[in-house]
Amino acid sequence: MTISTLSKPRVNLSESKKSCTNLRDEFQLVINSLDCLEDCYFSIVDATGKIVFVSKDFEKLDGYVINDIVGKHVMDVYKLGEQKSVHIKVLNEKRVLKNTLLRYTSATGHPVELIMDIYPVFSGREVIGSFAVSRDTSKIQALTDTVLQLQKALNNQLQRTNNNGTHFCFDDIICSGESMKSVIKTAKKMARSESRIMIMGETGTGKELFAQSIHNESSRAKEPFIAVNCSAIPDTLLESILFGTSKGAFTGAQEKPGLFEEAKNGTLFLDELNSMSVVLQSKLLRALETNRIRRVGGNKEIPVNPRIISAMNADPKEAIENEKLRSDFYYRLAVVTLESPPLRKREGDILTLSWHYINKYNKILGRKIEEISKEVIHILEDYNWPGNVRELSHCIEHAMNMVDPTDSALLVQHLPAFLQVQTSKIDTMPTIIVPKNNDYKQLMLEVEKDILTQALKRNNGNMNKTAKELNLSRQCLYYKLKRLDIDIQHEIHIN
């Protein structure tokens, strides 16, 4: 039996043909001769791809118990497609692969990165297995990442020496999935133009993060970035904040510029735009059409030139239909649109973001979490995340406060209580049967009504308990009941 190499002749291990059951014993001699190599791991599979041998150090690296995986197919254990399994590739192509980079996620949810040399094992002309020598590059990668993070921080600091009012740029967006990478690519294209942008997305999806990043990527980066949350300010006050005031407009009023003027040639970000009254929308529409504003109480028109980026957390078509948003106002602002995707649609990003926040709170709280249990990974990836990235951040922060300083793994008992029982709720949700040729919008309303009705029944009509179970605020639950015309007494039959 021989190991095929490209750098030297085949090494003869035995003159007689050995069965695959003896493969492990044969290679133990080779492995013993390589004890001088530090941070190396060894693995062997037979001709069918079943794992024959794995060195003991792999238990700590992979999180698998060796006795549990020996005899199983390598692709069943590591959940890799055939194109990614280097062992299978060597078995199929019957050639050596050297310095091959392999990235995957361990059983504990930790990212693993290896450099591998994989050799086909021959008995005569027949390939009876493959043998891999792997080196863990995580220490080198960690050092490289630290250097890159320091360089990024330095670049960001240099970029913001003009104190333009921002905290984020595109490099600050944490993602690994293609969906968010595609959105970032689109946003960078938008940054190169002067068109007005409408960013749409649910609460907690990072709409302002995108707005700041677009500003810092644009030709206006050295100018101010001014943001205002339209839902947090009453209309009477918001008008004077946006347009400014003239002396005598009301008692105590002074000549004061508004945000349009303060933004100068920079960017004005209007967040939660759908919360603005229709009356104020009309006044703002004129300013958008003429690029001129008139301070409250004044009669002088002032030219303004900020780029407008706005954001909404509601469906614009629905807002227009409900007369909460003027169509001409919307189309004036939504020259180009960007959708910030909810976390549940960002494939692969939940675990990436979780590790980002774990590492953050390891430093802040002095913890030493290096692993995430399989159960926690399952819960995190199964949960719907209505609060999106902001909610995930808060959940990880809660969990990191619950772990002890000596803990090395994040476990289910560390999670917030509502996440610990999340999996048990799946069985209580109603079964949805979609009839043919049904109106989609009406169907969704019926489904939502069924979910709310069943939840109210389970909680005997208690609004607080129902809101908590559905992860809704009490105010939001009342709104949904009113919108769906659900009468608790008649629909739920509560005495």
- Cβ contacts of 212-215, under 8 Å, gap ≥ 24: 212/166, 212/167, 212/168, 212/169, 212/269, 213/168, 213/169, 213/170, 213/172, 213/173, 213/187, 214/187, 214/190, 214/267, 214/309, 215/164, 215/166, 215/191, 215/266, 215/267, 215/269, 215/307, 215/309
CA-nearest of 233, 302, 221 to 261 is 302
Per the CB < 8 A criterion, the answer to whether 319 and 274 are in contact is yes
Closest listed residue to residue 112, CA positions, set 143, 86, 128, 134? 134
How far apart are alpha carbons 435 and 195 in whole angstroms?
43
The pair of structure tokens assigned to 173 is 């967006």
| pLDDT computed for residue 182 by the predictor | 94
φ, ψ (nearest 5 deg) of residue 205: -95, 0
pTM of the model: 0.60
Cβ-based neighbour number of residue 21 at 10 Å: 9
DSSP for residue 50:
B
- Which residue, among 404, 402, 399, has the nearest Cα to 377 in the 3D structure? 399
- Angle, helix 388-402 to helix 349-365, in steps of 10 degrees: 40
CA distance 450 to 430: 7
- HSE-CB of 474 using CA atoms within 13 angstroms: 5
42: amino acid identity, one letter = F
- Quick one: which of 81, 55, 82, 83 has its CA closest to 69? 55
Give me the chain's average pLDDT, please: 81
Q: Looking at residue 234, what is its pLDDT?
A: 78
Report the distance separating Cα 481 and Cα 474, nearest Å. 11
Hey, what amino acid is at 463? M
In tens digits, what is the pLDDT along the chain, a chain of 495 residues? 555 444 433 434 443 334 444 555 555 555 554 444 556 788 889 988 898 888 877 777 778 888 888 888 888 887 665 556 888 888 988 898 887 877 777 777 777 778 888 999 888 888 888 988 887 766 555 554 454 455 445 445 544 445 788 889 999 999 998 999 999 999 999 999 999 999 999 999 999 999 999 999 999 999 999 999 888 887 767 888 899 888 755 545 567 888 999 899 999 999 999 889 998 999 999 999 999 999 888 888 999 999 999 999 989 999 999 889 999 999 999 999 999 999 999 988 999 999 999 999 999 999 999 999 989 999 999 898 999 999 999 999 999 999 999 999 999 999 998 888 765 444 444 545 555 555 667 777 778 888 888 888 877 788 888 888 888 888 788 878 888 888 766 555 543
Give the Cβ contact number of residue 7 at 10 Å: 7
Contact 357, 393 (CB under 8 A): yes
- Percent helix, strand, coil in the chain, to 5, is 45, 20, 35
Distance CA 463, CA 484 (A): 16
The pLDDT score that the predictor gives to residue 39 is: 63
Tokens standing for residue 330:
């919307």
Q: Are 178 and 347 in contact (CB under 8 A)?
A: yes
- How are beta strands 371-372 and 409-410 bridged, if at all? parallel
